[in-house]
Amino acid sequence: MIAPVRIQLRRAAGWRMPRNTVKVDRSTKWGNPFRVKDIVWLAVAMGFRGDLAGRRAAAVELHRRWLGLPPKDGPMRSAVQGVATNIQILLNGNTIECPAPPTIAEIVAELRGKDIGCWCGADGPCHGDTLLEIANREVAA
C-alpha cells in the first residue's frame, strides 16, 4: 500500500481533486483555525520569525497544540512549549477564535489511508502534514 500524501489543491481549469483525497482547508472541519495573516505577534512570541515562512511554521505548531499534541522536536521547542502552555489565555482574550478541534479518534476514523488536499505549497509546512501523521501512525498491538 502506498503511504497517503498531501496534495496541493489547484484552481486551474480542468483540475480535479484525486480520488481518495479529503479536502482539509478552512472550509472543512479539518482546517487550521490559525490564519497566517493574524498571528504575526504570536509567531514572534513563540520564537518564530515574523515573515511569511515564520508565520506559516508557527501556524502549524499552533495547530498541533490545538489538537493536543506536543510541539515538534527542534530548536523552537522550549519557546513553543512556553507559549503553548498559556495559549488558552490568548484564546480567551478573543485574539483568535477557534472552534472545538476534531478528536484524534475522528482524525483516525475519517482520514486514515486517505490523501489530503490543502492549498499550502508542497515544499512548506502545512497542518495537513500533522493530520497525516496522526491519521496514519502505527497502532500499538
Q: What is the mean pLDDT of each run of 10 residues along the chain (141 residues)?
A: 90 95 96 90 83 92 89 62 58 65 95 96 92 85 49
- Kindly report the pTM of this predicted structure: 0.81
Q: What is the pLDDT of residue 69?
A: 87
Domain ranges for the chain: 1-33+100-141, 34-98
Whole-number pLDDT of residue 80: 60
- Which long-range contacts (C-beta less than 8 Å, at least 24 apart) are formed by 2-6? 3/136, 4/111, 4/113, 4/114, 4/115, 4/116, 4/132, 4/135, 4/136, 5/115, 5/132, 6/115, 6/116, 6/117, 6/118, 6/120, 6/122, 6/126, 6/128, 6/129, 6/132
